[in-house]
Amino acid sequence: MSDREGARPLRIGVLGCADIALRRMLPVIVGAESARIVAVASRSRQKAERVAERFGCDAVTGYRNLLARDDIDAVYIPLPPGLHFEWIAEALHAGKHVLAEKPLCTTYSETVALMKLARERNLVLVENFMFLHHAQHTVVRGLVEESIGRLQVFSSSFGVPPLNPESFRYQPSLGGGALLDVGVYPLRAAQLYLPGELEVLAATRRMDPVTGVDVAGSALLVTPAGVTAQLDYGFEHSYRCTYALWGSGGRISLDRAFTPPEQLKPLVTIQQQDRLTQLNAPADHQVRNAFEAFVAAVRSGTGAPRAEAEALRQARLVEDVRQRARTV
């Protein structure tokens, strides 16, 4: 962006009125000094007007009509995953930077194509894994070496009770299924701590015969050095949202790893021989931090090369899990 553009708030357009946008991201954008919402688009004029009135912006009928506006610098896309490729590509062709909810795409090849397009057009494209921007993970990383010794096993679980049957999460054509919705979190968390290229050794997926989507699964991964990752996820579970690191001298575990409320001081538990230590990480606002990181990437004018590499690695792992999985 030019110096003049950098001096004013980043002008944001929103494609879609998804629940995550209304509950989490749009309130953050409204409260940010670095950006302002210019317009929100929906296929339904009535829905667009309701959301626009709530957040003090313009209502637009149809996503292309929003992308055609010249008073928008970047777009936030909270659409179902099956629609991401089409509308991220449209946004990039329209010259807009893009912050898109995870997963960025439903396939690795689509992710590669979009990252290439963003590079060619010198635009920022970021996959919105908000949990990565919470301070609790920095706390855990700082404790790993001194508390548990040599890391041997990473484990993570993210499970939720059955969701609204009308949700896109139960529609294959919209990119539904537990792997793309909750399974991507343990996969992404493993990459915080396990260096090198992860290999998927085995995986399972439990399919719902009525909807045709996966509702539960697991995966076993390994690093070149032999450290393993044991991951579980699903839509048929009591709520669980955790990861743990087990090493030669102890074990660190973290609850509410992916969805901590901003007022929560997350509990970190360290188990060592004859010693149990619990401490609280600082409360943090991962949604706000994630959005401000996107704004900073746009402002820098250098793109987001790290975000690109991480999104490509994540997409490859998701595809490897899908291809290796045995249906159970």
- Catalytic (active-site) positions: 102
For β-strands 228-234 and 125-128, DSSP reports them as: unpaired
Nearest CA among 301, 289, 296 for reference residue 128: 289
Please say whether the beta carbons of 65 and 40 come within 8 A: no
- What is the strand order of the sheet 74-77 is part of? 58-61, 35-42, 10-15, 74-77, 97-101, 125-128
Please say whether the beta carbons of 185 and 260 come within 8 A: no
CB neighbourhood size of 205 (10 A): 24
Length reported for the chain: 328
Query: What DSSP state is assigned to residue 68?
Result: T
Nearest CA among 326, 290, 242, 256 for reference residue 133: 290
Q: In a 3-state reduction of DSSP, which class is residue 287? A: helix
